[in-house]
Amino acid sequence: MNIEDKKIAILFITKNGKELGLKIKRKISTAYLYYVKKDVVKEADGVIYVNRKLKEFVPEIFGEYDYIIFIMACGIVVRTIAPLIENKFSDPAILVSDEKGKNIISLLSGHMGGANEMTLYISNLLNSNPVITTATDVNDKSSLDMIAKKLNAHIYDFRNKVLKINSMLANDEVVNLFIDGDYDIDTRGFNICKRDEVNNLGEVVVISNKKNLNLINNNILKVVPKNIVIGIGCRKNIDKEDMINSLSDFLHKQNIDINSIKEIGSIDIKKNEDALINLSIYLNVPFKTFTAEEISKVEYLYEKSDWVKQNVGVHSVAEPVAHLLSDGNLIIKKHKYNGITFSVGRINI
């Protein structure tokens, strides 16, 4: 489990809880330890002492951490976090452990927040009993939200679709799945089908980054992986609407779903180009730039332009940038519009 970039808080209210917290801290060095108790006596042991009531302190950190591990009774935790809970997409993963670390409980955000995975991780570190109650997990099946999380995918009407499919899986109903591409995902519980079978089935979950699936089955639940990156070169002061319209036309002709775009990029001298910044906002994706030195290391692989070299310092922008964004997996060479060039890479998920 990769937790290097995750923020983890461990809260306790007793000395025994502190001892377990310190034990976990030795295994997960990036975790923050909080001893939350009125009139608590501070010690120099790497613990943050909070001289307040738990219900007063937790609201302040609830949205600041990816994982919050409570070492105390479940009832205390439930009463404390109940007013703070919003939804599975924004709530942090909540875990609960008894003071001896015998049981590690995944209490909230088991799938999307990662509480189930963290429960298994900590249970393994402490040789504890993991307590996971989500229906798909206890029935040894995958789930639609976990697939979507792995693929960073877009699903229209996500919440309702996930509830429906996960309920079908938990109730041993047939859930057809067609995977259009090569994705490393957990498909336990799904009925994997081939393209030529899809039109003869009822509802089918389809994983694809294509805009047009070319299927006559109208009962499709489309899962769009965010695995497409766009390298962009452009002239200075390109019109914002021209940039958006050109990309829309390009995506249409290449049969790429706009929701599959994970990131766009260009050379760093374009970092303040309004049309690119606006496009990033329009797509709701990051805009990443690379230096001429970074681009020069891979530009030899692609067609060169002396005009581009004279203006930006490298022979090519769109293709090398798509190459860098996708770790070398360029899938569509450059296509030119009026003052704009696009190229596409695909990230392996």
Query: Which domain-ending residue is among 94, 112, 133?
Result: 133
Tokens 């302190």 map to which residue? Answer: 57
- CATH code of residue 294: 3.30.420.180
For the chain, how many structural domains are there in total? 3
Sign of CA dihedral 206, 212, 217, 218: positive
Query: Which domain-ending residue is among 110, 133, 156?
Result: 133
Q: Is residue 321 part of a domain?
A: yes
Distance CA 201, CA 83 (A): 44
Q: Is residue 91 part of a domain?
A: yes
Residues 128 and 160 grouped into a single domain:
no
Residues 158 and 110 grouped into a single domain:
no
Residues 268 and 243 grouped into a single domain:
yes
Q: Is residue 323 part of a domain?
A: yes
Residues 199 and 288 grouped into a single domain:
no
Beta strands in the chain (DSSP E): 8-12, 32-36, 48-50, 67-71, 93-97, 103-108, 129-131, 176-179, 191-192, 204-207, 220-223, 228-234, 261-267, 287-290, 330-337, 340-346
- CATH code of residue 56: 3.40.50.11220
Residues 109 and 156 grouped into a single domain:
no
Q: Is residue 172 part of a domain?
A: yes
Residue numbers of the domain that contains 240: 228-346
Query: Which domain-ending residue is among 166, 195, 225?
Result: 225
Residues 111 and 161 grouped into a single domain:
no
Residues 272 and 340 grouped into a single domain:
yes
pLDDT tens-digit profile, the chain (349 residues): 788 789 999 999 999 999 999 999 999 999 999 999 988 778 778 899 999 999 999 999 999 999 999 999 999 999 999 999 998 889 999 999 999 999 999 999 999 999 999 999 999 999 999 999 999 999 999 999 999 999 999 999 998 999 999 999 999 999 999 999 999 999 999 999 999 999 999 999 999 999 999 998 889 999 999 999 999 999 999 999 999 999 999 999 999 999 999 999 999 999 999 999 999 999 999 999 999 999 999 999 998 888 888 788 898 999 999 999 999 999 999 999 999 999 999 999 8
Residues 113 and 169 grouped into a single domain:
no
Q: Is residue 138 part of a domain?
A: no
Residues 161 and 47 grouped into a single domain:
no
Q: Is residue 2 part of a domain?
A: no
- CATH code of residue 149: 3.40.1390
Beta strands in 164-319 (DSSP E): 176-179, 191-192, 204-207, 220-223, 228-234, 261-267, 287-290
